[in-house]
Structure 1
C-alpha cells in the first residue's frame, strides 16, 4: 500500500488511470467538501472553481483523486488519497497562501523537506523554525522554509502544535506533496496521459 508520504515521489503521467466528466451530484459534493474544508477561500471560489464550469475528478493509481477544471489543459487544483481530506496543489497554495496555517522549518531542514522527508519537531522548534499555534493532529498545513516566501510542501499534522512543543522529538508533519515531486513536475493531467 502506498503511504501518503510517498504518493508523488515517483508520480508520472502514466499514473493517470481515468479521466471522465463527473456527474452534477458528484461535482456538487466535491465543491461542498472543499468549501467546508477551506472556509478562508469563500470569496475566491468563483476564481478557483467557477460555478458554471465543470470539473474533472481524475482517478490515478494508488487511490489518488485529483480535481481539475474541464479544459484542454486540466491543471490539478486539489487532490486526496483514500477519500481523505483534499489537499491543495502547491501552485494553488502559492496563489492563496492564507488558505492553510503554515509551519516554518529552519534552513537546515529545507533539503530534507524538498526530498520528501517528513517534518521533524526539532526543525520547527529550533532557531529559524516556527510552530503555528492552534493546529491539531490530522489538520492539513503548509510547510515553509526559513527565509523563503512560498510554501515548499503540503502535509498533515501527525501531532498538535502543543504536542510538538512538549515532545520536541520525532516526525510531526507528514510530507505529502512538495516542490520537485511528481505532481509538481506534472501539474497538467489530460486524457492523452492515460496508460492503456
Structure 2
C-alpha cells in the first residue's frame, strides 16, 4: 500500500483510515498512493486554512457574508419590484409567535388592537423567508410585516390601511407622487416642513408616506436621517422607499 500498489493489495493496511481509505477506493491517485496521497492531503489542508482567513466580503471566495442592515443603503430600494422569491414558508408556533407579537408591541405606536388581532389569528400567522435576506410575516395569506437583513419591523401598506397610526406619517408634495409610486426615494425638499417639525423620528425609523391632501399611505420607508437633520440639510434623500402601492409585495 505504501509503495503505491493500489487498493486491492493494501486493503489490510488501509482499514481504519476513514476518509483516506474512502477517497483512495473511489478516486485512486492522488489519494490512494503513498507519498502522493500525503502531499495532496497537506495541500488541501493549507488551501482550506488560507481560504478560511480571507475576508468573507471578497468576491470569489466560497464564504458568503451575511449582509448587515444599513438604513442608508440603496439596496433597500426596489426590493419587491419582481415580487417575493420564497425560500421557506412556515406557520409560527409557540414562543416564536409570542416573540414576534412582543416585537410588534415594542416597535409600533398604538398597537394594542393589532396585538389582540394577531393573537386571534395565531393559527394562520406565517413566517416567509425570501431571497435577498428578506423576511415577511403573513396572516391568512396577506403579508403584514417586513424585515430586511434583520432590520426593524416595517408594516405593509395593507396593514397601515387597517391601523393607520402604527408609525409616523410624512406628507409629500403632490408633484412627487408619481415618482414615489414608481419606486423613487423621497427627497428632503419634497417633504412638508411642518411634518418634520412636528415629529422626532430618528435615522432608520419606519415611516408612512402620504400625499398632501390625502389620508391613506402610498409608501412605507425608512428614514436615512433624523427629522432635525432633514430640516437642517434640506437636500438629499430623506427616506428610502422600501414598499409602495402596486409593487410586487402589494400584488403578492
State the TM-score, normalized to the length of structure 2: 0.66
d(CA) in 1 for partners of 2:171 and 2:107? 22
- Please name the residue that 2:245 is paired with: 179
d(CA) in 2 for partners of 1:76 and 1:107? 28
Change (3 A) 1:19 1:163: same
- Please name the residue that 2:170 is paired with: 103
State whether residues 210 and 219 of structure 2, in contact with CA within 8 Å, keep that contact through their aligned partners in structure 1: yes
Q: State how many pairs are aligned.
A: 178
Return the match for 1:53 from 113, 122, 126.
122
Q: Deviations over 1:165-194 (max 9, x none)?
A: 1110000001100011100111xxxxxxxx
Return the match for 1:168 from 221, 234, 238.
234
Structure having the larger proportion of residues in helix: 2
Deviation at 1:44, TM superposition (A): 3.4
Equivalent position SS for 1:185 = coil
d(CA) in 1 for partners of 2:94 and 2:134? 21
- Tell me how large the CA RMSD over aligned residues is: 1.9
Gap runs ≥5 in structure 1: 187-196
Deviation at 1:23, TM superposition (A): 3.8
Instruction: Say if 2:172 is the partner of 1:119.
Output: no
Gap runs ≥5 in structure 2: 1-66, 68-73
Instruction: Say if 2:149 is the partner of 1:79.
Output: no
- Please name the residue that 1:19 is paired with: 89
Equivalent position SS for 2:110 = helix
d(CA) in 2 for partners of 1:119 and 1:68? 27
State whether residues 129 and 135 of structure 2, in contact with CA within 8 Å, keep that contact through their aligned partners in structure 1: yes
Larger radius of gyration: 2
Change (3 A) 1:110 1:46: same
State the TM-score, normalized to the length of structure 1: 0.84
- Please name the residue that 2:134 is paired with: 64
Equivalent position SS for 1:180 = coil
